[in-house]
Amino acid sequence: MIKIGIVGMGGMGAVHYNNYAQIEGCQVVAVVSHSSLDHKKAKEWGVSAYKDIATMTEQEDIDVIDICTPTFLHKEHVMESLSLGKHVIVEKPIALRKKDAQEMFDRAEKKGLLLFVGQVLQFTKAAEILHEMVKSQKYGKPLDGYFERITACPSWAQGGWLFDKEKSGLLPFDLHIHDLDLMISLFGKPEGYSFTSCRGQDKSYEEHYRFHYSYKGLNIVAEAAWYNADYPFTSRWRVYFEKALLVNDGENLVLYQRERPPYYFDIEEKVKISTGINLPPTGMFYYELSHFIDCIKRGIPSPRIRQEQILAVVEILEEISNDEGN
């Protein structure tokens, strides 16, 4: 039995707890939070609550620590957990700077421990089918792609940290990171990129981005937004191959070919668990965390969320963040 301690009991901490409860061979035994309300919630869950990681590991038999705290606290909590000899799962983004991310991976390697980053989009059926189509080249080489992730400005974050660039990285690290991670896992690190962005006069952060990534023989355009409007969360993409067009419209995954009827893939998830956040019930967190637990049992790093992939994503987003306004 893999025993888990969760650090942070906000939206994602609760999502992870609810999913672990459905996964065989693991159990959440403790949580860390400074909030008395969170400690009350932990009692309802039937787990022990602590105010710091060190005390939790002293009092509990813990195999892995799951970090679900705000981004600016990730490095501190990851490094402490690794120093205490525990495997770590950390929500995305692992860090806002490549240097910090590299230090975390180096610490894990030095201690002989595993470090996993929660890039959950990789565990959707649509993404898995796209991976197989790119790898097999059944419909030829990919020529062009478009990825979109847009929504109303978030209202769920507590304490205002999400709108502090130094703490969250803002929209690129919150939303676009999912699509960039998928792109890099599929096509590798782009040869070049450019972007445009805009914001209202009363905003201190960019509200909308349009990115252009260039590869040899392939172009990718991506869009991300925190609109100052009640626009529903929308995530969709399409990839054009030499012999077909694969379209994820957010509800269906459809393959279009010449002189053939559209083919609708079965992407219905067998497991759907309520999130309690601004996402409908889904199985992607269940599949993601099941994968990480399996890797821990086998003592191997994730073949789906690779270190070099994560570092490339953070490097590009860091460059984009530094380029803003220049």
Is residue 69 situated within a structural domain?
Answer: yes
Query: Which residues constitute the domain of residue 135?
Result: 125-266
If asked whether residues 114 and 132 sit together in one domain, one would say no
CA 167 to chain centre: 17
Q: Which of 52, 84, 119 is the last residue of a domain?
A: 119
Residue 325: which pLDDT band, with cuts at 50, 70 and 90?
Answer: low
- Whole-number percent of the chain with pLDDT over 90: 92
Which token pair is 76?
Answer: 């501190």
Does 287 reside within a domain?
no
Evaluate if residue 296 carries a pLDDT over 60.
yes
Do 83 and 159 fall into the same domain?
no
Q: Report yes or no on 27 lying in a domain.
A: yes
| C-beta atoms surrounding 10 within 10 Å | 18
3-state SS, residue 89:
strand
pLDDT 10s digits, 20-58: 999 999 999 999 999 999 999 999 999 999 999 999 999
Question: Does residue 326 form part of some domain?
Answer: no
CATH number at residue 212: 3.30.360.10
Which residues, including other chains, have CB under 8 Å from residue 255's CB and lie 6 or more apart? 139, 244, 245, 246, 247, 262, 263, 265
Give the global pTM. 0.95
- Separation of alpha carbons 240 and 146, rounded Å: 9
Dig out the tokens for 238 from the structure.
């399409």
100 and 20 in a common domain:
yes
pLDDT score at 158:
63
Are residue 97 and residue 146 in the same domain, yes or no? no
For residue 294, report the phi and psi dihedrals to the nearest 5 degrees: -65, -40
Do residues 172 and 242 share a domain? yes
pLDDT in tens, 146-198: 999 999 998 766 668 999 999 999 999 999 999 999 999 999 999 999 999 99
Exposed, middle or buried, 128 (CB in 10 Å: 0-12/13-18/19+)?
A: middle
**CATH number, domain at 70?**
3.40.50.720
